[in-house]
Amino acid sequence: MLFKGGGLPHESLALQEKLFGAGPDYNFMTRIERFKNSLVRVQHFIRCCARYNLHDHADKKWFEGVAFPNEVSVLGPHSGMFIPTLKEQGSEEQIQKWVPQAEKHQIMGTYIQTELGHGTFVRGLETTATYDPKTEEFILNSPTLTSIKWWPGGLGRTCNFGIVMALLYIDGKNYGMHPFVVQLRSLKTHEPLPGLTMGDIGPKFGFDTVDNGYLQFNHFGIPRENMLMKYCQVLKNGTYTKQTRNPKFSYGAMIFVRSMVVYEVAGQGLAKACTIAIRYSAIRRQSELKKSRPEPQILDYQTQQYKLFPLLALAYAVWFTGVRMKEIYFMVNNEIKQGHTERLPELHAISSGLKAFTTSMASWGIERCRLACGGHGYSAASGLPKIYVNATGGCTYEGENTVMLLQCARFLMNIYGGVKNGRRPSGSVNYLGERISSRCTLTSEFTLKSLADAFKHRAARMIKEASERLNRLQASGNDPEDSWNLNSVVLTKAAEAHCHYYMVLVFESVVESVEDNCVKDILRQLCQLLALCGIQENSGDFIQDGFLNNDQLELVKQKQLSLLSEIRPNAVLLVDAFEFHDVQLGSILGRFDGNVYENLFKWAKKTPLNKPEDLIHRLLR
Ligand SMILES: CCCCCCCCCCCCCCCCCC(=O)SCCNC(=O)CCNC(=O)[C@H](O)C(C)(C)COP(=O)(O)OP(=O)(O)OC[C@H]1O[C@@H](n2cnc3c(N)ncnc32)[C@H](O)[C@@H]1OP(=O)(O)O
Ligand SMILES: Cc1cc2nc3c(=O)[nH]c(=O)nc-3n(C[C@H](O)[C@H](O)[C@H](O)COP(=O)(O)OP(=O)(O)OC[C@H]3O[C@@H](n4cnc5c(N)ncnc54)[C@H](O)[C@@H]3O)c2cc1C
């Protein structure tokens, strides 16, 4: 049970539900059918929560994994953003009023921030909420075309409530972005309320089961009590008060989801893709290794191992890092609730950095898994296209990845600047205060410590150089903003190096904590492979300052190749250990029983194009 903790009982419960275990095939549906099917599942899921007394969020998550395999349902924005924002930004009274209704799904909400003209630049959003002390209302308005809200999940058709991020105006003064609870649709008729123009934004790359929507406000009034008032209040007479706390608290929902995405999206998506590709590679036989011998399993080709085993190692690394990210989020969030906000900047930086780093790696990795499955990987029957289109959304939503790396880099530059002025860093950046050795200690043993040290050296050097380059750009006459932009490629690479080191370190710590020697040895091999591939793929970074020499690089290559053979006997077991049920994988290639060909044939026969259809028949006759 390296992975699951208490998840299995809830998965088994969910699998007993006929609708979840053996529903209609997603691949043969139109977008509208996919959406409707997901809504039917949502309703059934809600009934199951009541029937099985599922209140705990983690328990529901296990259930959801079976109910909505490899897709986001409209419950995602509701339970992942609407409810957490109410809880984090609402006053006690507001929490009492809305959270119980939301948890019982009597109201369904979403998080409404992005606009047609701006997503990344939150300070550039234009929707206004103007307080009118006479009516004690906020008047929400979309003053321009670009201010129309665009993208929120569930907004198009489903949700009847939303948290709207808007600029607060009182007496002509702009107080910045604040969250407002807004009823969007009638609880009786489900029609949009007067003053709101709303709908679905149309088909997308993935996310077929979510009605991402648009919303235009036409001087739409909401009661004063609907501004979430935990950190800032507007009194009846229009007086604005705020606690002397970090103004970025209103960005809390984004930190939460970014922290969850590492595990929920990147970790799960890549682990599923590896399960499919590795199981299939053990079933598929092709070509000859030796003359007049049976065709080998394609997993026996070194090149196939070289494609897949580094991704398997990455899947384990991202999974462990995602679990650690969640722990850090809840720990720091608890500290914040008790008034200790010192670690908020670090939480913002590490969640931004890891969200970007892991979703990019997972997205690239899932596509490599698809390519490694040859022709059948290209078929929807592989399940890989669906996993890819949904997971790759994580590179964009909740902060576009480049922008998130730059946020992480901003923190790293602040910390590095502080170190130069004698401050001691702590937490994930404590290594920036250490003396880092300039020569690599890697030997043919490749201890995990020596590998992690190599990544530490790389990150520290790249952060130092990014900082020095920034200073040089300013010293040569550029203003700070231009210097930042002229240095931004270097900055994103420094942030990636920091995240890469963090991931290797997390993996190393997990290996050290394992007591079973056999499991420990196997995980050590994976961790070594992860690190060695990281060194080889970024070898320029490690050689640039003479840290690693050519002889060591040759050793890296040799060890990488020998690890492929060492991992081969355990490869299928290592993906089985993720314990994904066939329903969760949604893949004929990745079936647990390995019965691929027979099921591919059955599946193809069911495709709607094979059914008698008048128009096609007439056109072809
Ligand atoms: C329990 C389980 C529950 C289930 C969960 C399930 C999760 C699974 C998810 C699957 C489903 C997901 C569905 C998809 C949902 C997508 C929802 C969205 O996209 S919604 C839309 C998402 N949209 C986006 O993500 C938009 C992305 N853009 C942004 O977030 C902001 O515009 C920005 C951060 C880029 C800049 O902000 P700006 O205000 O211009 O700030 P400056 O740059 O000027 O920096 C000034 C200072 O502020 C600091 N600081 C900044 N932020 C924070 C923070 N959060 N905190 C602390 N500090 C922060 C910064 O470091 C700096 O410090 P210093 O150096 O001065 O000391
Ligand atoms: C599937 C999906 C679900 C979503 N769900 C929601 C939701 O529920 N609620 C919601 O409010 N929003 C949602 N969004 C919107 C999402 O949060 C935004 O699309 C995202 O934050 C990116 O912003 P953008 O679209 O403005 O990208 P842009 O900022 O326009 O990005 C375009 C390019 O510009 C670059 N760029 C932009 N700014 C900078 C900069 N400062 N420095 C360097 N490069 C820069 C980016 O790196 C990128 O390459 C969703 C989006 C998707 C795809």
Ligand 2 centroid distance, CA of 605 (Å):
41
Q: How far apart are CA 592 and CA 186, in angstroms?
A: 46
**pLDDT band at 539; cut points 50, 70, 90:** very high
Ligand 2 centroid distance, CA of 356 (Å):
12
Q: What average pLDDT does range 188-217 have in this prediction?
A: 98
Sign of CA dihedral 323, 324, 325, 330: positive
Q: How far apart are CA 33 and CA 31, in angstroms?
A: 5
Please indicate, yes or no, whether residues 230 and 313 belong to a single structural domain of this protein: no
Query: Catalytic residue positions?
Result: 398
Percentage of the chain exceeding pLDDT 70: 98
Q: Specify the residue with its C-alpha closest to ligand 1, atom 4.
A: 80
**Cβ of 214 below 6 Å from ligand 2:** no
Taking CB atoms and a 6 Å cutoff, what residues make up the pocket around ligand 1?
57, 72, 76-77, 79-80, 111, 113-114, 119-123, 153, 248, 251, 254-255, 257, 260-261, 264-265, 344-345, 348, 397-399, 403, 407, 410-411, 414
The pLDDT, as a whole number, for residue 244 is: 57
The answer to whether residues 575 and 279 touch, using CB atoms and an 8 Å cutoff, is yes
Least confident of 33-37, 334-338, 477-481: 334-338
Please indicate, yes or no, whether residues 226 and 257 belong to a single structural domain of this protein: no
**Cβ of 82 below 6 Å from ligand 2:** no
Ligand 1 centroid distance, CA of 398 (Å):
7
Closest among 542, 533, 531, 537 to 506, alpha carbons compared: 531
- The DSSP element (H or E) to which 223 belongs, if any, is strand 220-223
Please indicate, yes or no, whether residues 398 and 312 belong to a single structural domain of this protein: yes
Pocket test for ligand 1, best of 410, 411, 423 (most atoms within 8 A of CB): 410
The number of the ligand 2 atom at minimal distance from the alpha carbon of 110 is 8
Q: How far apart are CA 33 and CA 28, in angstroms?
A: 9
Q: Is 153 part of any known ligand binding site?
A: yes
CATH number of residue 124's parent domain? 2.40.110.10
Please indicate, yes or no, whether residues 133 and 212 belong to a single structural domain of this protein: yes
Percentage of the chain exceeding pLDDT 90: 85
Q: What average pLDDT does range 21-47 have in this prediction?
A: 92
Ligand 1 centroid distance, CA of 177 (Å):
13
- Give per-residue pLDDT as tens, 39-64: 999 999 999 988 988 888 778 888 89
Statement: residue 400 has pLDDT above 80: yes
Q: Specify the residue with its C-alpha closest to ligand 2, atom 39.
A: 403
Please indicate, yes or no, whether residues 193 and 276 belong to a single structural domain of this protein: no
How many CB atoms are located within 10 Å of the residue 13 CB?
18
Residue 442: inside a domain, yes or no? no
Closest ligand to the CA of 344: 1
The pLDDT, as a whole number, for residue 108 is: 97
Closest among 160, 526, 545, 457 to 310, alpha carbons compared: 526
How many CB atoms are located within 10 Å of the residue 164 CB?
26
Please indicate, yes or no, whether residues 556 and 413 belong to a single structural domain of this protein: yes
Please indicate, yes or no, whether residues 218 and 349 belong to a single structural domain of this protein: no
Parallel, antiparallel, or unpaired for β 161-170 and 109-112?
A: parallel
Please indicate, yes or no, whether residues 141 and 276 belong to a single structural domain of this protein: no
Task: Look at the chain and report how many structural domains it folds into.
Answer: 3
**pLDDT band at 6; cut points 50, 70, 90:** very low
Which ipTM was obtained for this model? 0.98
- Give per-residue pLDDT as tens, 52-109: 888 887 788 888 989 999 999 999 999 999 999 999 999 999 999 999 999 999 999 9
The pLDDT, as a whole number, for residue 613 is: 72
The pLDDT, as a whole number, for residue 458 is: 97
**pLDDT band at 621; cut points 50, 70, 90:** confident
Q: What pTM value is reported for the model?
A: 0.97
Ligand 2 centroid distance, CA of 304 (Å):
35
Please indicate, yes or no, whether residues 218 and 334 belong to a single structural domain of this protein: no
Question: Of 542, 558, 575, which residue is a domain's last?
Answer: 575
The pLDDT, as a whole number, for residue 9 is: 65
Torsion of CA 95, 97, 103, 109, to 10 degrees: -90
The pLDDT, as a whole number, for residue 77 is: 95
The number of the ligand 2 atom at minimal distance from the alpha carbon of 402 is 47
The pLDDT, as a whole number, for residue 5 is: 43
Q: How far apart are CA 612 and CA 526, in angstroms?
A: 51
What residues make up the domain containing 38? Answer: 8-71
**What is the full DSSP assignment across 41-90?**
HHHHHHHHHHHTT--SHHHHHHHHHHHSTTS--THHHIIIIIHHHHHHHS
Which of the listed ranges 316-325, 428-437, 544-553 does the model predict with the highest average pLDDT? 316-325
Question: Of 171, 206, 239, which residue is a domain's last?
Answer: 239
Please indicate, yes or no, whether residues 33 and 170 belong to a single structural domain of this protein: no
- Give per-residue pLDDT as tens, 208-244: 999 999 999 999 999 999 999 998 999 999 999 997 5
Q: How far apart are CA 304 and CA 3, in angstroms?
A: 26
Least confident of 20-34, 237-251, 325-339: 237-251
Please indicate, yes or no, whether residues 161 and 300 belong to a single structural domain of this protein: no
